[in-house]
Structure 1
């Protein structure tokens, strides 16, 4: 992704950027600041954004250190030092496990725009004129994306719980250009730092940015930037771009300039060149000292020293650009590629006419929308407009546009067309009043209906989910009689000398006897899913015969493990569908039809082929009474499951999904296994059998649920280490290596592929140094490393033509050890670590699809069980599911190494403050990545659409607008000149709220107090704060009545505001009726509890009224699942909920007392204590 986003803190977030600028406080116009070609340093930052008028700065003006610190560090106007709204929150200190942790206010957001590598290479080796044109193109693209973000994503939220989204005047941003990566490679990039302060368009008040929307927009912004940049480069240089096939299995296709070949990209793409240079220097020094060339083992050691030496932080003292360019040009010449030759191959080559918006026909938009919808629907069950914008940009990536406006019009048209083709899961709830002001209207809708929050799905997705969900309730599947199943399971236990745990036996019996077309077994890591599957397989085959159980898995390697562990035939899901109903089946059908039409003279031969084809197809067809076990089912997509359910239904077979939705999810749209689990339609394994230590099972379940309390357990048992990135990687490696040396099976899990490569290189070097690996005779691998005899490598691609000595093909994820030095043709002999079979790997497979196999990622570690695991964790890299997988691989030990600094990427951390290890773990555990079905998302959106909690917040926002209008009018009558000044006070909002309550309590007193406060404010600096304090005395008792959407009387001169208030009130009435009726008809546990206390003598009309009020109270305050009618006692500062709860306590008490008196009159005396008992039973008392 070419645009990345990170938070900046108020403390030292800009220090690095300011230190590297060349001019600091010199007020040199940025347009004239070209001396960075010959002077050390990067250009001075420049101001950007439409919000600059709020701080009296001009676009493209220079950013000085005092100005930057005023705006970003202190949230102040750089000229007047006036606070921009509210000051940054103070740095807070929290404590966990006795350690102090600092939390810093967010001062802004660093959006880093990095040009694609080929553009950096062109810019790096071009002459000064072309270099400037590339830089200008990059700047224009950055500027346009900022304008796009201002229009689409940079807004603020206001009201209770941020219920209203309001537009802003624009962003305040500072842009800083940088030239190179940490490794000294050319990497043209700009840090666009956006201040976390904006002015509301409705009233110019200062507020903070809605960061959630900004984060959601970044992928779309990145794709938009790429399209704009390549448009600019074609327009000014005639350059063309195309998509490059990835060079390794780890990477995706990239969009690069034609004329910049892969050799140049590799030269300037990673740290390896810098390491090579340093290693070469060390080798020459060693040879000079010892009088001979070092051996291969010594070279490995010297390269290891070079690796460490080049991992240091990038120097804050930048070199002049002309010096950098000369070095980059020399590196290109060393490859035989002169700058002129590269320029001749790259620029002035485009013959395409750029597209204008008027060139795009409705038919093309419809076709592009279909492609875009199919692309996003394949990867997601649900999506929003940001997802569609990003996918539309990818669809249009190879189209060059005449102007930024043309590109935006084209992409917007495609996106809107996709929205029309999609099924909405939540709808706009309000009619936007005519001529609505900016405090009620945003992005063409009401402030409560932000278009970016709308969710969509596809009709096909809903149909597929519905089909699978129906299959779960389809009783037409094969089954085994209960007594027979019990007998088979008992026999299996005796034969296998493996008695099933109670939960495993229950799961097996349920699956065997249910008769459902589709069943599921869900279990956490280490719960014995494989044991349970083995028992089910044995019992099923006892009834339906050998071969009646078939296995499927999402990957070939996991299918192989399933086959080996259960003793069944197993295949990966994609291959099965390809051969059974996909292209493989189609090709056989075509051949079959062709043979059927053979002439009579060749009929005999044709019949033989027909018989062979029929048998081949039969191998990929399900049979009646078969059981298909789909392991790791959470990783199987919905569309794949739909195909399998169809096949099972047609054949009279049964599907069994096995897995854990709290582990890895499907790459494409999924969520079915999680739905089955959440709906209680899956059998759950609950006991944990994997771990040596008793505490680790329960603690792992807390990790699985995202419970931060699990951290205490792991910390207390020495399973969490934390520190700087390099130290943590080193610790993880050393502990892993020690475990390996001591004969333990161990796995080393890294957060990303770059760290995997670093760890693999380290392991290889140590094995060479210890004499276990031959460094004299090696082969090249796809990760740019080499391997020799004794090295462990991993296959990264299925290859059915590469078969081992057992006749089995090579699968992605297979670990092998090289057993001999390479053959003359570059191939090597290797032995599989799982089966011991031998295989010969050709050089092409090695260079394209093999890597060193010592470290792995969490994603590739699922399904592995070892003695110990060591997981390196960095901020923002792992979801809860991935972390849980990593921390449950080991039987005896699972250790996390939490990096409190980011890895050595392109730049040092911009955040200014290192995140604490505990906050990083908290972010990971809170980051649930598992997808939910479209049905679940739709149900959740419907459920939250009109809750009284949400409606009350919306009403409160509107009431504040009305009260603000009323207060402004009242102030103007007394002191007209004071209105605008008081509006700017940070106390204005609180003053409006207390004015609203004071008016309800005593309007006359409220006006009198306001008049006195205006005329006699005293010497306070904040005049509005004085008004607020004095009005509170009048409003003291008003809290018991104001704020009710149905009883409060609001007066306003604004027609748009009156209409919105009435719409909210109407929805509130409807919702109150709905929740009351639902409570009375469904009788949840709290109604039953109240009914038991009230008895049969309660007055029916009063009962209906009280239940309705309680239902409304629970909906208003988000109380769910508790049997006590009023739920927990609210916190002391929640005065509104306390007020509502007190009033309901009185109503309940009165109703129960009346019921008791009625019972006393009709039956017998009732003890006096019953009158007071309800106060305890309805919920905790104040």
Structure 2
């Protein structure tokens, strides 16, 4: 589900567009329209017919004049009679366009079905849309009422919504080629009726915030409708949030999306070549240039085109008709699997969550596990009653799985820190420090020596905290050399493979003994890596370690009698999954913090770094603006172009491996940046004409920079880790592969033609990949909703000689640049750090009279139900790397 506000100025055009889709071309219903799409069915009003009639509109089929009138806030047929008051600016918002899209597999089934089966699918979709809209009405405060006491408008739920649904069965036409089948409905919510009978505009923000929940309800209801028709439904997507029809392959889905993908790729290449988005006429020209010579003109030809597209994938009308017999009549109850999936998914990103997140996840998992949406929502109470979802005192929730994992991490660190069995003598410590000082040809600072002494102390657990650039790697190297001098084994681990490699580079004592956390655990459990009382494990960037991984590692080290040292900075990027334990552990076990920054020497810039770290971005931006390092463009596309040009100039001066180009936005933006820089280099003939086709639709040339997105095994040598970069030095056009010289040691490895999907262009990267890196200069595009205190701090501290910020005005509020920069400062000062559930006490319902979950949410019950479930959590950890 997506939602977009319709401004008053666009109401007429919007209504005409939707109504125009229902009008057949002059040749008649048999022919396709100018965009190659068929005429669609007329719109229909959904919701309470009496409430609609009170507005003066006619229930049933949507009449264009009725829709235009309601979007304008008027009573149909009475141009001077307004149904709702104008807003502060004197205009009336036209409404909200909520779009519900069916899974691609269902759209394919519809495209190949006979008329009867098509109507069944459409009716299932209609029912799901109508019930999802009603659910949003019940759940979301879409209206408002003036409160005289507080002199403020208070949000309230609507009694009724005035809603028109327009069913479209194809994607937007591209040129005159056959459109892809895509069942979706535009649902126009024009206004709401309160329980007192007054009509109001729709509050857009709460609806936009509830888009994920509403989409999940729609999919769960649609899946239920299809099961009742006999279709077998299977979970889809990496986290099972979506579903698909069994019997229609992903290859078929891709084939029916190929045309749109071709035009999207042509548009991406246009932006790469020109540094801007194509205009409407240019986009039309791209569509015409990439279309096939033959394109359908009639409905029959369109159906025949779809049948021909499906044939190579074994899909026929008969096959699709038989899909209605796919769901077994005696399908087993999968509620237990749904419960386990919800417990894992609801804390996939954070340790704590609210009621809406629990409802959303429950609905998302319902489609794949065969639960009707209302049944899934009711079952969330059972999760709480059974103590599997726990209420916290601050109003948030957590799961027993996460609560127990956090508790065990904390207990393990405290127990190990109190165990004085690890022994590193002063003599061994001085020997280790001497090795590092000889390598650096410089003495360690007083605080660095004190840090080495602290983390090699008698206890088996310690923390090292240091802001960016304080020389944590030097301290780790000296500590590891000290332990080796004492005859101990040392290992280095991190969440990401490239981070682990960087640990080995900054601390040569660990150089050949670094792994990912997953890889290290697997290696120990399979007997390939010895871990015993004589070993210490150094965990770099421990703040990025999610609770599950840190729990498994801590448990393993404690069981084997080893020691653990966690290193990081809680002000830098947090864990992607549930996390926050690194900061919580600080101070509860021996903890030492570094303060002296060595990466930069300008005191004013160091002050800006410190201000950014402390969440005082306004002070930091004052410094960067005064020195000409903040660059504003009107649009995000223009800001990206300026960032790409700046990086291109700096890379030519300093080398690509010494300049970082970072974004905190999506992979789409990073792809655009990479393709643009590649185009700039091609224009200067810096890249060879030898090239291979990449699965993403572009080409890789000899001379291109690439980055690995998955680990790659290398026979007889160390594997290439996720995040490692290099330069293509030779293309084997016959075989379709290439040779890459890796950054760092220059080792050359071959990427075979069948593995091209594990690399991508590597000029620009997400800020997450740059944590722990040090470069000479950096270029950043930021300022959108993803910007946070943590991303801004990491972005500001990667370079030894300065950072340039590229910002889009349309990402920020304000009429003047000073206002926009203030908005940017607020975003850069907003922390998105992970919070562990242990930061809040559990509610003890034994003291809460009248509570339906009385006596259930207590610490001892959490431990009781969590222990067996933790085994499941371990077994289902994604991304375990041997």
Q: Which category describes the TM-score, using the shorter chain as reference length?
A: 0.7 to 0.9
Matches of 1:214 and 1:518 in 2, distance apart? 48
Q: Encode CA deviations 1:337-378: one digit per residue, 9 max, x unaligned.
A: 49995544434422145889xx886xx534532343244355
1:661 and 2:574 correspond: no
User: Which residue number in structure 2 is paired with residue 737 of structure 1?
Assistant: 648
Distance 2:298 2:565 in 1: 61
Tell me what 1:984 maps to: none
Provide the C-alpha distance between the structure 2 equivalents of 1:463 and 1:366, rounded to a whole number of angstroms.
20
Aligned-pair CA distance for 1:520: 1.9
Kindly indicate whether residue 525 of structure 2 is the aligned counterpart of residue 522 of structure 1: no
Q: What is the alpha-carbon distance in structure 1 between the residues aligned to residue 680 and residue 300 of structure 2? A: 37
Mapped pair 1:384 → 2:349:
no
Change (3 A) 1:306 1:797: same
Structure 2 residue aligned with 1:65, among 63, 68, 71? 68
Aligned to 2:860: none
Q: Give matches, 1:664-1063, under 5 Å.
A: 664-677=573-586, 682-691=591-600, 693-709=602-618, 710-716=620-626, 717-744=628-655, 745-750=658-663, 751-775=665-689, 777-800=690-713, 802-803=714-715, 807-822=717-732, 824-846=734-756, 848-873=757-782, 875-900=784-809, 917-918=820-821, 921=824, 924-925=827-828, 928-938=831-841
**Which of the pair is proportionally richer in strand?**
2
Q: d(CA) in 2 for partners of 1:14 and 1:887?
A: 44
- Inter-partner Cα distance in structure 1 for 2:240 and 2:774: 27
Seen in structure 2, the aligned counterparts of structure 1 residues 169 and 741 have a Cα distance that, compared at 3 Å, is: same
**Normalising by structure 1, what TM-score?**
0.59
SS of residue matched to 1:666:
coil
CA deviation string 1:853-890 (max 9, x = no partner): 22222232322222222333364344443344334333
**2:244 equivalent in structure 1:** 255
CA deviation after TM superposition for structure 1 residue 633, in Å? 0.9
- Picking from 375, 395, 414, the partner of 1:410 is 375
CA contact (8 A) 2:662 2:766 kept: yes
Q: Please name the residue that 1:180 is paired with.
A: 171
Is the contact made by 1:360 and 1:410 (CA closer than 8 Å) also made in structure 2? no
Cα contact 1:366–1:417 (8 A) shared by 2: no
Residue by residue over 1:1008-1061, the C-alpha shift from the partner in whole angstroms, topping out at 9 and shown as x without a partner, is: xxxxxxxxxxxxxxxxxxxxxxxxxxxxxxxxxxxxxxxxxxxxxxxxxxx99x
- For residue 934 of structure 1, report the CA deviation from its aligned partner: 0.8
Alpha-carbon deviations, 1:728-761, whole Å to 9, x = none? Answer: 2221211111111223422223421222223333
Return the alpha-carbon distance in structure 2 between the equivalents of residues 215 and 133 of structure 1. Answer: 30
- Bigger Rg, which one: 1
Partner residue, 1:17: 14
Alpha carbons 1:154, 1:171 under 8 Å: kept: no
Q: Alpha carbons of 1:353 and 1:326: their partners in 2 closer, same or farther (altered >3 Å)?
A: closer
Q: Is the 8 A contact 2:346 2:353 kept in 1?
A: yes
Alignment of 1:141 with 2:138, yes or no, is no
Deviation of 1:573 after TM superposition, in Å, equals: 0.4
Between the aligned partners of 2:30 and 2:604, the Cα distance in structure 1 is: 64
> Residues 138-287 of structure 1: matches in 2 within 5 Å?
138-154=125-141, 167-173=157-163, 175=165, 180-181=171-172, 186=180, 187-192=182-187, 194=189, 199=194, 201=195, 214=207, 217-233=210-226, 240=232, 242=234, 255=244, 258-259=247-248, 262=251, 265-266=254-255, 268=257, 272-274=261-263
**TM-score, normalised relative to structure 2:** 0.77
- 339 and 483 in structure 1: CA distance in 2 versus 1, 3 angstrom threshold: closer
Change (3 A) 1:490 1:230: closer
SS of the equivalent of 2:750 reads strand
CA-to-partner distance for each residue in 1:407-435, whole Å, 9 max, x for gaps?
1343234323222234565479xxxxxxx
Q: Tell me how far apart the structure 1 counterparts of residues 590 and 253 of structure 2 sit (CA, whole Å).
A: 56
Task: Give the Cα–Cα distance (whole angstroms) in 1 for the partners of residues 166 and 449 of structure 2.
Answer: 64
C-alpha change, 1:390 and 1:624, in structure 2 (3 Å) is: same
Cα distance change, pair 702–655 in 1 and its aligned pair in 2 (3 A): same
Deviations 1:933-990 (A, max 9, x none): 1111437x89xx99xxxxxxxxxxxxxxxxxxxxxxxxxxxxxxxxxxxxxxxxxxxx
Please state how far the C-alpha of 1:333 moved relative to its aligned partner. Answer: 7.4
In structure 2, the CA distance between the partners of 1:339 and 1:765, relative to structure 1 (3 Å rule), is: same
Q: Which structure dedicates a bigger proportion of its chain to helix? A: 1
Quote the offset at 1:566 in angstroms: 1.0
Distance verdict in 2 for CA 1:851–1:926, change over 3 Å: same
* 1:537 matches 2:535: no
Q: What SS class does the counterpart of residue 856 from structure 1 fall into?
A: strand
Match of 2:82 in 1: 81
Please say if residues 714 and 720 of structure 1, whose CA atoms lie closer than 8 Å, have aligned partners that are also in contact.
no
> What is the RMSD of the two structures over their aligned residues, measured on CA atoms?
5.1
Residue 796 of structure 1 deviates from its aligned partner by: 1.8
Whose relative contact order is higher, 1 or 2, with alpha carbons under 8 Å and at least 6 apart? 2
How far did residue 80 of structure 1 move?
4.1
Equivalent in the alignment of 1:4: 2
Counterparts of residues 344-743 of structure 1 (less than 5 Å) = 344-353=318-327, 364-377=334-347, 379-398=349-368, 407-422=372-387, 426=391, 455-474=396-415, 475-478=418-421, 491=434, 494-495=437-438, 496-501=440-445, 503-513=447-457, 515-542=458-485, 544-545=486-487, 548-567=489-508, 568=510, 569-581=513-525, 585=526, 617=527, 619-677=528-586, 682-691=591-600, 693-709=602-618, 710-716=620-626, 717-743=628-654
Q: 1:843 to 1:416 in 2, by over 3 A?
A: same
Q: What secondary structure, in the 3-state scheme, does the structure 2 residue paired with 1:21 have?
A: helix
Structure 2: distance between partners of 1:720 and 1:355: 63
Deviation at 1:174, TM superposition (A): 5.1
Q: Are the counterparts in 2 of residues 628 and 654 from structure 1 also a CA contact under 8 Å? A: yes
Cα distance in structure 2, aligned partners of 1:860 and 1:566: 19
Distance (Å, rounded) in 2 between the aligned partners of 1:396 and 1:486: 57
* Mapped partners of 2:553, 2:271: distance in 1: 55
Partner secondary structure for residue 891 of structure 1 = coil
Asked if 2 retains the 8 angstrom alpha-carbon contact of 1:521 and 1:682, the reply is yes
Equivalent position of 1:1167 in the other structure: none
**What's the offset of the Cα at 1:786?**
2.2
2: distance between equivalents of 1:424 and 1:170?
Answer: 33
Deviation, 1:552, is 0.8
The equivalent residue for 1:1091 is: none
Distance in 1 of aligned mates of 2:172 and 2:822 = 28
Residues 551 and 628 in structure 1, CA contact (< 8 A), matched pair in contact too: yes
Taking the aligned partners of 2:96 and 2:796, their CA distance within structure 1 comes to 32
Shift of residue 264 of structure 1? Answer: 5.3
1:331, 1:733 → 2: CA distance?
A: 41
- Contact between 2:275 and 2:676, CA under 8 Å: does it hold in 1? no
DSSP 3-state at the match of 1:834: coil
- Segments of 5+ residues of structure 1 without an aligned counterpart are 92-103, 280-299, 401-405, 429-452, 586-616, 904-913, 947-1058, 1064-1182
For the residues of structure 2 that align with 1:922 and 1:211, how far apart are their CA atoms? 26
Instruction: Give 3-state SS (helix, strand or coil) of 1:859's partner.
Output: helix
The number of residues matched between the two structures is: 808
Do the aligned residues in 2 keep the contact of 1:471 with 1:517 (CA within 8 Å)? no
After TM superposition, give the deviation of residue 486 of structure 1 in Å. Answer: 8.1
Which secondary structure state, in structure 2, belongs to the residue aligned with residue 656 of structure 1? strand
Q: Give the match's secondary structure for 1:819.
A: strand
Q: Distance in 2 between matches of 1:521 and 1:779?
A: 46
Deviation at 1:822, TM superposition (A): 0.9
Aligned residues of 1:242 and 1:258 also touching (Cα < 8 A): no
Query: Which 5+ residue runs of structure 2 have no aligned equivalent?
Result: 289-294, 852-882
Shift of 1:920: 6.5
Query: 1:867 and 1:196, CA in 2 relative to 1: closer, same or farther beyond 3 A?
Result: farther
